[in-house]
Amino acid sequence: MGSGLAVGIDLGTTTSLASVCMPDGQPRLLRDAQGHGIIPSVVSILPDGRILVGQRAKERLVLDPENTFFSTKRFIGRDMRQEENSWAATAYPFRIYAGENGVPMVRAHGREYTLTDVAGMILAYLKKVAEQATGLPVPQAVITVPANFNDVQRTTTRQAGERAGFEVLRIINEPTAAALAYGLERRGENERIAVYDFGGGTFDMTILELRGQVYEVLATAGNTLLGGDDFDRRIFDRMAKAFEAQTGLHPRENREFHQRMFLAAERIKCQLSDWLVAGFTERGVEIAGRRVDFQFEMSREQFNEACGDLVDMSFDVCDEALRMADCTLTSIDQVILVGGTTRIPLLRERVTKYFLRPPLDKIQPDTVVSLGAGIHAFSLAGGPKMWPLPAAARAAAEASAGPA
């Protein structure tokens, strides 16, 4: 292994995170210069070719939606000549099209990029975050992928890591990383673990069998076109209907306002995990030669009504995974939640009812995969020996990384 640290990366559909283990073996989430540990998986290309990643890129979703790319993980390694992929891509304000052999491509300011390039830009940003947070070179990475990613998607993810300048130590399944974060293998027991992973763009259900300290994937099932983004779209659809009812206009007639509404839909979804009512108000919107006001409010009950079927769709996948693993619900010993979507109260209620037990919730569901990947990277890179620093410098690096 080379000198320097190894980082664990959760390369997600809507957000990406990087973690590193400290010399004591405890994983820490790394934060960028603005203090963000959960980095939007958004890339914006400027006219001069400069690349923005993360929160600064997300802020350009309104200003320049045609050259700002998000949720591209949904299409990485896919053949864009297939109808289901080309149809799904029409939901985005930027164009995803088939390059040579169906490779998914995007274009910005006359330049073409593969989605491998876009993923590499996100990973390069996380590499920079890790090096700035620790003050050390970070040449190596463990990168996680959904358990149902095929060989092409895994190879594409590895290539993206290499383009970012990493030696990719291993591509590991997100459910395995989540289980590693909980350290269930340290108990030395034999258990069956259900990992319910509802991310921004995909839903996966994986059954792991733990024997001693070894995890085996018994089965995984997934829906690659079901994720938190779909909840956002349900809210947006209601917002758009309300806007038409109030004004007689459609929000798409003002591109920037249309995108602001979509961002507001995501914000409302998140707020309704804590609040009973959330909303969006904008005054003086210029659209179709008119200036109009718009006000929208949604209760948690209305949200549940609009999105309950999306939650139910996840249990169809769970049923499939259990059948594939030849398991029953009563044979499941632990349930782990992964992904920010699992913060939704309705979802947690139905998960508890479905699995006949409450899920583990000691670790935040949107950081658990990254933390587990950090633990695995630490192990592969030699444990405490990968820290080539005296104790004082180690303490400074740990402080800059911040708590998980």
Residue 389 is predicted with a pLDDT of 45
CATH class name, domain 228-304: alpha beta
Residue 162 annotated among the catalytic residues of the structure: no
Interatomic CA distance for residues 274 and 291, integer angstroms: 33
> Is 297 noted as a catalytic residue in this protein?
no
CA 129 to CA 400: how far, in whole Å? 11
Catalytic residue check, 59: no
Find the length of the chain. 404
The residue that leads in pLDDT, 114 or 183, is: 114
Check pLDDT > 70 for residue 395: no
- Ordered by start, the domain boundaries in the chain are 188-227+315-355, 228-304
Mean pLDDT of 221-241: 93
Contact between residue 107 and residue 145 where contact means Cβ atoms under 8 Å apart = no
CA 174, CA 158: separation in Å to the nearest integer? 15
| CA quadruple 45, 47, 50, 55: dihedral sign | negative
In this structure, of 110-119, 125-134, 143-152, 392-401, the range with the lowest mean pLDDT score is 392-401
User: For the segment 187-224, what is each residue's pLDDT rounded down to a tens digit?
Assistant: 778 999 999 999 888 899 999 999 888 889 999 999 97
Report how far residue 67's alpha carbon sits from residue 43's, in angstroms, rounded to the nearest whole number: 8
Mean pLDDT of 6-33: 92
Catalytic site includes residue 253: no
Contact 333, 261 (CB under 8 A): no
- Domain 188-227+315-355 sits in CATH at 3.30.420.40
Strand 111-114 with 104-108, pairing: antiparallel
Q: Which of 64, 117, 174, 229 is catalytic?
A: 174
Read off the pLDDT of residues 99-132 as tens digits, 9 standing for 90 and up. 999 999 999 999 999 999 999 999 999 999 999 9
Tell me, what's the pLDDT at 393?
Answer: 40
Structure-block tokens of residue 312 = 């139910």
- Closest to 61 measured CA to CA, from 32, 104, 93: 93
Q: Read out DSSP for 351-385? A: HHHHHTSPPB-SS-TTTHHHHHHHHHHHHHTTGGG
- Output the average pLDDT for the chain: 92
pLDDT over 90 at 390, yes or no: no
Listed in sequence order, the residues at least 6 apart from 155 whose beta carbon sits closer than 8 Å to its beta carbon are 77
The catalytic position among 73, 204, 230, 269 is 73
357 contacts: CB under 8 Å, gap ≥ 6:
332, 335
Tell me which of 10, 229, 266, 398 is the catalytic residue.
10
How much is the pTM? 0.88
Average pLDDT of the residues in 312-341: 97
Of 32, 64, 117, 197, which is the active-site residue? Answer: 197
Amino acid of residue 331: S
Question: Is residue 392's pLDDT more than 60?
Answer: no
- Beta bridge partners, 19, equal 8, 29
Helix (H, G, I), strand (E, B) or coil at 272: coil
